[in-house]
Amino acid sequence: MTPSPDAADIDPIRLELIKNALTMVSDNMMVAVLRTSRSTLVKANMDFSASILDGAGEMVAQGLALPGHLGATMPALRGCLDYFGDDIQPGDILANNDPYAGGSHLNDIFMFLPVFAGGTRVCFLGLILHHTDLGGRVAGGQAADSDEIYQEGLRIPPSKIHQAGRANDTLFRLIEHNTRVPDKVLGDIRAQIAALRAGAVEIEKLIAVHGVETLATYMAGLVDYTERFVRASIRALPDGEAEFTEWNDDDGVGGGPVRIQVKVTVAGDEITVDFTGTDAQKGGALHTNYWFTASLSFAAIRAMLPAETPNNAGFQRPIRVIAPEGSWVNPRFPAALGARGQGGYRVRTAVTGALARLFPDAMPACPGGNEFGLSVTGLDENRKRFLHVEFHNMTGRGGGPDRDGQDAGPYWLGNLSNTPVEVIEAENPLRVEAYGFLADTGGPGKYRGALGMVRQYRLLNETAIVQQRADRHSHPCWGIFGGKPGALSRSHFIRDGVWQVAPAKFVRHMARGEVFRSEMAGSGGYGDPFERDPAAVLEDVRQEKLTAAHARAEYGVVVEDGELDEAATVALRAAG
């Protein structure tokens, strides 16, 4: 690791220029992936992230990517460095998807390309992509009911996917023969490699301008500056301690509910996030390993800090995350982790719940959605495998201190895009029959929570296997400070016109013409609903976001024939 430079030796203008240049390289790698990837999950859902790490493996910049990857990249590289030691040469590209060697879950393959100059390792370029399928018992790799990691697919320990500039054909063949959709997976892997190489060219230009020693010094200076900035930002917050309890509906295999307990402590210039009291690890694949738990905690706290805070290792130094080994948020080997994304949402909302109690004027109520993950797979009429994998995250946020939750807006801890209906229908034998808002589902409050949403799919193929990973069927998105929770999620199969209730998590067969419908939870409300401006309630009714009956029952607002009855509203609210 480059020794920390004296702050007085750092030119702030050059520091800003180098910071922006490193972030630009990360963003450009992401653009390269978007232009060359094959899977809908990457090019439309945008489930990937890019970063730059120094020669010792400390993150110095992250692109406009997933906040949940903020703390996950360094451990994945550390697993590679621990294994290979000094045996990392120019032309190597490292790969790792092993959650027990610093990775996240098997679908996330981390790759790292070292950049050398004059025999010195200047930095690593990092890319993490969620790959559509790496084998396992259920297509897509996110089944909630797997009991151990061996059921979930191909586990790639720290390896070299390229060595001295040559592809590792053995590893490529292992991947090709352990995926149901090799064209998509190998296409995405090659896009990942191509983007890393494009990023390396840009880093070499920076080296040519600044020199190896100067660039290394300023990367270390950037991390140190970020630590000072974050400590100052935390110091400006009032000291305090708050606890919060969240619940996952179940553990994926019929046990539950699962209790997630967290205590957030702000003291001086440091924050501690302590998950002591969280349930022990259980069956199923919803656990979050330690570094994913830490990553989500970092992301929640990041939302509290100034927008200009750099995303690098310096951000993490003032934050301590305690997750007892053997707990649901730090399970022991060989616990399954394939569906850890859904469990991760609950970790995020637990931490944000505690932050909302500490800083009531800064945090919104619980965001909506059911952490929806869907895979549909089968053989098309030409006997070719199709596999649709989709995550839906544009379900808005909870009501906040001064505004409603944004309907269909991005949740600031998810940052994924939704898969367009047209793409789903063009690439799969599916017809999306419904996609829109669900009236009366946002949590009532002075500021309303975002509405829940619906996705409804009809199978046009002879048969398929459908797998859903979702939640919030039993435990709603919480409201705060008098705000009420949003509506629960619901799932149904519709067969021959008969509606059949489905659980939040399942793997089932589906036949031609049958319909699957997922109704996603609404976000929580903020503040007393009877304090909501009646004009805002009227506008929601006019836009069909609320029914007149719901406006009367939850807000004490009377709307008749599309008009506000002010006298009746005053009387109804006075009556309580």
- Describe the strand order of the beta sheet including 258-267 as a list of residue ranges: 240-248, 258-267, 270-274, 319-322
pLDDT cut 90: percent of the chain above it:
89
Query: Can you tell me the mean pLDDT for 436-449?
Result: 98
Where are the extended beta strands (E) located within 28-151? 48-54, 59-62, 93-96, 108-117, 120-130
Q: Read off the tokens for 264.
A: 């957030």
Helix (H) / strand (E) containing 467: strand 463-469
The SS3 assignment for 438 reads coil
Residues 510, 491 contacting (CB under 8 angstroms): no
Residues 77, 95 contacting (CB under 8 angstroms): no
pLDDT above 60 for 480: yes
Sign of the torsion formed by the C-alpha atoms of 471, 474, 479 and 483: positive
Per-residue model confidence as pLDDT tens digits over 483-537: 999 999 999 999 999 999 999 999 999 999 999 999 999 999 999 999 999 999 9
CA 376, 382, 384, 387: dihedral to nearest 10 degrees?
-20
Kindly provide the b/e burial profile for residues 127-138, where b requires at least 16 CB atoms within 10 angstroms of the residue's own CB. Answer: bbbbbbbbbbeb
Q: Read off the tokens for 22.
A: 């490193």
CB neighbour list of residue 31: distance below 8 Å, 6 or more residues apart: none
Q: Which residues pair with 327 in a beta bridge?
A: 280, 330
The Cα–Cα gap between 96 and 501 comes to 39
CB neighbour list of residue 8: distance below 8 Å, 6 or more residues apart: none
At residue 418 the predicted structure's pLDDT band, cuts being 50, 70 and 90, is confident
Kindly provide the b/e burial profile for residues 65-79, where b requires at least 16 CB atoms within 10 angstroms of the residue's own CB. Answer: bbbbbbbbbbbbbbb
Cis status of the peptide bond prior to 429, with omega within 30 of 0: no
Q: Going by DSSP bridges, is the β-strand pair 93-96/490-495 parallel, antiparallel, or unpaired?
A: unpaired
pLDDT above 90 for 396: no
- How far lies 466's CA from each of 284, 497, 524, in Å? 18, 19, 29
Per-residue model confidence as pLDDT tens digits over 85-124: 999 999 999 999 999 999 999 999 999 999 999 999 999 9
- Describe the strand order of the beta sheet including 159-163 as a list of residue ranges: 59-62, 48-54, 120-130, 108-117, 93-96, 159-163, 166-167
Q: The whole model's pTM is what? A: 0.95
The Cα–Cα gap between 340 and 259 comes to 15
Write down the residue that tokens 């990942």 correspond to: 192
Q: Going by DSSP bridges, is the β-strand pair 159-163/385-391 parallel, antiparallel, or unpaired?
A: unpaired
Residues 290, 382 contacting (CB under 8 angstroms): no
Alpha helices in 384-458 (DSSP H): 421-427
- How far lies 297's CA from each of 33, 262, 291, 355, 455, in Å? 27, 10, 10, 11, 29
Query: How buried is residue 152: exposed, middle or buried, by Cβ count under 10 Å (0-12/13-18/19+)?
Result: buried
Per-residue model confidence as pLDDT tens digits over 227-250: 999 999 999 999 999 999 999 999
Residues 484, 459 contacting (CB under 8 angstroms): no
Per-residue model confidence as pLDDT tens digits over 272-290: 999 999 999 999 999 999 9
CB neighbour list of residue 211: distance below 8 Å, 6 or more residues apart: none
The Cα–Cα gap between 54 and 43 comes to 28
Residue 71 is predicted with a pLDDT of: 83
pLDDT cut 70: percent of the chain above it:
98
Q: In the predicted model, what is the mean pLDDT of the chain?
A: 95
Per-residue model confidence as pLDDT tens digits over 168-208: 999 999 999 999 999 999 999 999 999 999 999 999 999 99
At residue 414 the predicted structure's pLDDT band, cuts being 50, 70 and 90, is low
Write down the residue that tokens 């919060």 correspond to: 244
- How far lies 113's CA from each of 1, 29, 30, 37, 71, in Å? 17, 12, 15, 18, 19
Helix (H) / strand (E) containing 459: strand 453-459
The Cα–Cα gap between 453 and 416 comes to 16
What are the sequence ranges of the domains in the chain? 7-229, 364-532
